[in-house]
């Protein structure tokens, strides 16, 4: 499926808080085609959730503003739509799965009613038909005894089932694009495996494009077609999932992969690779390459912002020194 023309395309998106300071999300470009899964990875504070909220038109404006860029979906720029037009799209052709079903769903209404409400908001159907659709969706996401769960409240369901309800609600109107923000982070690993498998199955069935936001490289390896690695508000590397894991180029990506406790084998000497220091705060954002102050390869040239340049088919990296093994001289081992 990769290679098809993009369904959703983000160009040069920049977001900041208030008027001063630096951009929290800076010049981010992404695209996703039908049936494709794009994963946005990065650590806390890298701007991945802000990007997702911007796509859904859910940024708290003010104080958070989009200052540049466009989001092309279906021939229109989402950033130019009115609130009414956006809420027509939201929950219909654009849907979102949040990390915490406990806070994203209403504890005071039965779950079936909430799914039916999402259907009735966008489709001209009767109450009965909407309820029928809700039942069908609950069955589809694998909730046992779906008939009885229709009238269950959130607190009566387990964590995995709540997340299934949210998925059912997001998919009820056959969205073209599904945005999932850390959908499995709050779940246990066996339940995570069930949910990821379910999402992949449903996606294959409907051809929905998915943008999945996560900090877990294991999840990325499991579901992504394409990956964008974000650091401090910028995309530092992007490409097909295979290229990213087998041929990581950016020092941040290398550090991130190296710091995963090796599932395959213990790392040499048993020590994990680490990334020293901390993610810069928005007030103290470096002007050049934002990773420079934590980068073991930093040099004077890093005071300039590195362009996201092509290094292989579909594989882009924002580092002056990529590929590192050709540009960085070997040091005499101490």
- Binding positions for other proteins, rule: CB under 8 A: 43-44, 144, 158-161, 188-194, 196-197, 215-219, 221-222, 224, 241-242, 245-249, 251, 254-256, 258-267, 270-278, 281, 284, 293-294, 296-297, 323-325, 328, 330-331, 333-334
Long-range pairs for 198-207 at CB < 8 Å and ≥24 separation? 198/141, 198/142, 198/164, 198/167, 199/167, 199/223, 202/140, 202/141, 202/167, 202/171, 203/35, 203/37, 203/178, 204/35, 206/171, 206/174, 207/34, 207/35
Question: Would you give the end-to-end CA distance of the chain in angstroms?
Answer: 49
Question: Which of residues 260 and 305 has its CB atom nearest to other proteins in the complex?
Answer: 260
Tokens (6 digits) for 1: 């499926």
Calpha distance 249→160 (Å, rounded): 36
CB of 256 to other proteins, least distance (A): 6
Question: Which of residues 155 and 271 has its CB atom nearest to other proteins in the complex?
Answer: 271
CB of 209 to other proteins, least distance (A): 19
CB of 249 to other proteins, least distance (A): 8
Contact 238, 229 (CB under 8 A): yes
CB of 221 to other proteins, least distance (A): 5
Tokens (6 digits) for 253: 């990506």
Residues forming beta bridges with residue 178, ordered by sequence position: 95, 210
CB of 53 to other proteins, least distance (A): 20
Question: Which of residues 119 and 235 has its CB atom nearest to other proteins in the complex?
Answer: 235
Question: Which of residues 123 and 197 has its CB atom nearest to other proteins in the complex?
Answer: 197
| ∠ Cα 120 124 129 (to 5°) | 65
Calpha distance 33→5 (Å, rounded): 6
Question: Which of residues 3 and 144 has its CB atom nearest to other proteins in the complex?
Answer: 144
CB of 228 to other proteins, least distance (A): 15
Question: Which of residues 173 and 253 has its CB atom nearest to other proteins in the complex?
Answer: 253
CB of 259 to other proteins, least distance (A): 4
Contact 35, 1 (CB under 8 A): yes
Calpha distance 195→200 (Å, rounded): 9
Sorted by sequence, the CB contacts under 8 Å of residue 286 that are 6+ apart come out as: 280, 292, 293
Question: Which of residues 131 and 162 has its CB atom nearest to other proteins in the complex?
Answer: 162
């Amino acid at each position: 499926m990769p290679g098809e023309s993009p369904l959703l395309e983000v160009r040069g998106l920049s977001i900041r808080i208030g008027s001063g300071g630096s951009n929290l999300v800076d010049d981010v470009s992404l695209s996703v085609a039908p049936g494709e899964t794009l994963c946005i990875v990065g650590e806390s504070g890298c701007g991945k959730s802000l990007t997702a909220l911007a796509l859904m038109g859910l940024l708290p404006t003010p104080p958070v503003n989009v200052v540049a860029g466009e989001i092309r979906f279906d021939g229109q720029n989402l950033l130019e739509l009115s609130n009414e037009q956006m809420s027509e799209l939201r929950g219909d052709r654009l849907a979102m799965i949040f990390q915490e079903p406990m806070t994203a769903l209403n504890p005071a209404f039965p779950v079936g009613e909430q799914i039916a409400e999402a259907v009735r908001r966008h489709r001209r159907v009767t109450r009965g038909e909407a309820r029928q659709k809700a039942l069908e969706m609950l069955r589809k996401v694998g909730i046992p005894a779906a008939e009885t769960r229709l009238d269950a409240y959130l607190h009566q369901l387990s964590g995995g089932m709540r997340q299934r309800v949210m998925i059912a609600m997001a998919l009820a109107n056959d969205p073209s694009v599904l945005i999932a923000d850390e959908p499995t982070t709050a779940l246990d690993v066996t339940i995570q495996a069930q949910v990821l498998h379910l999402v992949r199955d449903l996606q294959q069935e409907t051809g929905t494009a998915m943008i999945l936001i996560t900090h877990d490289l294991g999840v990325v390896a499991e579901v992504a077609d394409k990956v964008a690695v974000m650091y401090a508000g910028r995309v530092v590397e992007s490409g097909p999932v295979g290229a990213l894991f087998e041929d990581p180029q950016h020092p941040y990506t290398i550090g991130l992969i190296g710091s995963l406790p090796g599932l395959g084998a213990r790392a040499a000497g048993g020590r994990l690779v680490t990334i020293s220091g901390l993610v810069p705060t928005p007030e103290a954002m470096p002007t050049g390459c934002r990773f420079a102050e934590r980068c073991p390869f930093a040099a004077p040239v890093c005071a300039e912002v590195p362009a996201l340049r092509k290094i292989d088919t579909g594989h882009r990296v924002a580092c002056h020194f990529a590929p590192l093994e050709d540009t960085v001289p070997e040091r005499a081992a101490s």
